[in-house]
Amino acid sequence: MKTGLLFLFSLIFINNFFAQNVVNNPAVHIIPIPVALTVSQGFFQLNNSTAIISKSSQTAEVANLMANLLNVPTGFQLSVNKSQSNIKNNKISLQLVANSMLGDEGYTLNVSPELIQIEANKPCGLFYGLQTMMQLLPAAIESKEAVNSVKWEIPYVRILDYPRFGWRGLMLDVSRHFFSKQFIERYIDEMVKYKMNVFHWHLSDDNGWRIEIKGLPKLTDIGAWRVPRTGTWGTFDPAHPGEKATYGGYYTQEDIREVVAYAKKRFVTILPEIDVPGHSRALISAYPGLSCTKLRYAVEPGTRYFREDDNSLCVANDSIWLILDKIFTQVAALFPGEYIHVGGDEVHAEYWENDPREQALMKREGITSLEGLQRYFEKKLEKIIASKGKKMIGWYEIDHQLTSDAALMSWNSISAGIEAIKMGHHVVMAPTRYCYLDSEQGRVSDCYQFEPVPDGVDPKYVLGAQGCLWTERVPNERQAEYMTWPRSMALAEVFWSPKSRQNLNDFLKRMQCRFDYLDTEKVKYSRSGYDPVITGISGGRICQECDDSTKVNITTEIPGLDIFYTFDGTNPDNFYPRYKGKPLGIPKGASEIRVVTYSKGKPVGRQVNCLLTDVGQRYN
């Protein structure tokens, strides 16, 4: 009865939220958008006397984290108090409650003149309430040093919020390029601001082995290093005879423990990935006997090797099972999460086909195809994973006939996820079109249009979704930030907010407000939403090449910008012709259009120079 009454009160609470008029307050630009939000006129004034109230040990860790986040930029010395009996006003209170609407990660946040109240069923809900509160403060809250010239005001709000999906992830590939432990922790800091809770750590591939395994020293002595190359990935020369492998790095087990502990305090689960049986060139470079050819390969530096060299483990080699057992024993001990990712994608089985040991195994086991041989590998690996007390997850290519405990990530299409769900598997949706962040910095709207639950499937099988940053073309940490943001903000809203609350134009306004915060904390991000997109129109249709009938159409993803252009080869500014929304005829002799965007009299996007033979291509 008590639970029923709480549920009834919660329904009244949320209905009252929607019944009120939301005040248009520029200080409120929360991402992801909460389930319910009202804003009133006025602000809570944060000052050096503000008290943080934490009544229990369960809430203390979040309270201490709040104090640390607030004290650095404000210069205050806020402390955490266990009792509020002597504190009548000017306080922030964190409290655990029992509210059936909130689930494990939901929260309520109420800001009034003398009190900020954050309530949740569990500490992780309080943590997400804290993230929302931080977004309500001025952008200077992201400063790494005290800022004395700011009024630390938080608008009066009432918020009820909880996530749509339990799995809200980001994947970072550290095999192609190694990123420091400190950067990984900063990356986690950034993703939790938008309430993401799974960090998928791609720790091995053809181009580098990044995790220390006791008893297998060659994995990091050899597999973690390759010859240095700079330029365009896929065009590099292979390692020359005698050339030293000096580019790379790896995480010690102590590094791993530190990052796992860091993530745990921020309610992030780390999903480790060891990619087998394909994408195993770094592993094979360390231990050549594990491939069918047994040839000595250098760690792949980014050549056109694809399908030319053997990068798959030999399934019939008993040694690989001893090594994989040792690897996954230690991985399972280091990472406390429910799942271990085993890769399984893009396995090139040509060398299996010509290996007598593999053929003998296939005959002995009644395996009639190379796909069946991979199926045999995955089933045997799943037993190893299960023996460590973990569940297996892999890319969609792992066998759908595995036990129902195994989960799949659908990366190349939504249809692959649908197929897996029909086979009774839980799925994390990460389709390339919407969730892959490694191609050119494109339109945020492509991410925002993603719907993780396909039509016709049971939603209970969709664990959630994630963005994926592969790093072939991401050679440094600044570029990793640039490729991640702001598109991952859009994904975060898709993963957290109710579908009924999602609105692209509203999101784009809030996204622009977040740019000030990213600038303050010196995180690199893309501003491609301000860039002009130029297309050719012929006969009412988008065309790829111009002819005498073609007109030029110019749009921007972020609405309301002023667009200026020229056909004469000079660089436009806001004194040039302004685009008024109607397709432009191409002057005779013109070979190029140059376009720039302005907002409030200042340039905001990059100038785009487009050859008129290229209209229809996207320049962003």
The string of pLDDT tens digits covering residues 237-282 is 999 999 999 999 999 999 999 999 999 999 999 999 999 999 999 9
What is the mean predicted confidence (pLDDT) over 361-377? 95
Pair 462, 427: CB distance under 8 Å:
yes
How many C-beta neighbours within 10 Å does residue 294 have?
13
**Apex CA 125: angle with CA 100 and CA 38, to 5°?**
80
Q: Which CATH architecture has domain 2-161?
A: 2-Layer Sandwich (3.30)
Question: Would you say 411 and 432 are in contact if contact means Cβ atoms under 8 Å apart?
Answer: yes
* Strand order from edge to edge, sheet including 584-585: 541-543, 532-538, 551-556, 584-585
Query: What are the tokens at 535?
Result: 């297309």
Q: What single-letter amino acid sits at 186?
A: R
Residue 177 pLDDT grade (very low, low, confident, very high; cuts 50, 70, 90): very high
Phi/psi of residue 507, nearest 5 degrees? -60, -40
Task: Give rounded-to-5 percent helix, strand, coil for the chain.
Answer: 35, 20, 45
In Å, what is the CA distance from 328 to each residue of 18, 101, 120, 302, 463? 50, 38, 36, 27, 23
Buried b vs exposed e over 141-160: b needs ≥16 C-beta within 10 Å? bbbeeebeebebebbbbbbb
Percent of the chain at pLDDT exceeding 90: 83
Q: In CATH, what is the architecture of 169-520?
A: Alpha-Beta Barrel (3.20)
Cβ-contact 156, 113 below 8 angstroms:
yes
Model confidence, pTM: 0.93
Angle at 209 between CA 206 and CA 211, to 5 degrees: 155
Domain ranges (residues) in the chain = 2-161, 169-520, 528-611
- DSSP type of residue 28: -
Asked whether the bond before 603 is cis by omega within 30 degrees of 0, the reply is no
209 bridge partner residues: 204
For residue 150, pLDDT beyond 60: yes
379: enclosing H helix or E strand: helix 370-387
Write the pLDDT tens digit of every residue in 15-35: 444 434 444 577 799 999 999
Residues 518-537 pLDDT 10s: 999 999 999 999 999 999 88
Lowest mean pLDDT among 9-18, 39-48, 357-366, 370-379: 9-18
The DSSP bridge pattern shows strands 198-202 and 153-161 to be unpaired
Q: Which residue has the tokens 């009034």?
A: 112
Smallest CA-to-CA distance from 605 within 590, 616, 595 is with 595
Look at residue 543 and give its three-state secondary structure: strand
C-alpha–C-alpha distance, residues 277 and 292, integer Å: 12
pLDDT value for 304: 86
* Among 158, 165, 155, 149, CA closest to 135: 155
pLDDT of residue 361: 96
pLDDT tens by residue, 459-510: 999 999 999 999 999 999 999 999 999 999 999 999 999 999 999 999 999 9
C-alpha span between 410 and 434 (Å, rounded): 12
Is the bond into 532 cis (omega within 30 degrees of 0)?
no
Q: What is the mean pLDDT of the chain?
A: 92
Tell me what the mean pLDDT of segment 125-140 comes to. 98
Query: Tell me: the pLDDT tens digits for 297-337?
Result: 999 999 986 656 789 999 999 999 999 999 999 999 999 99
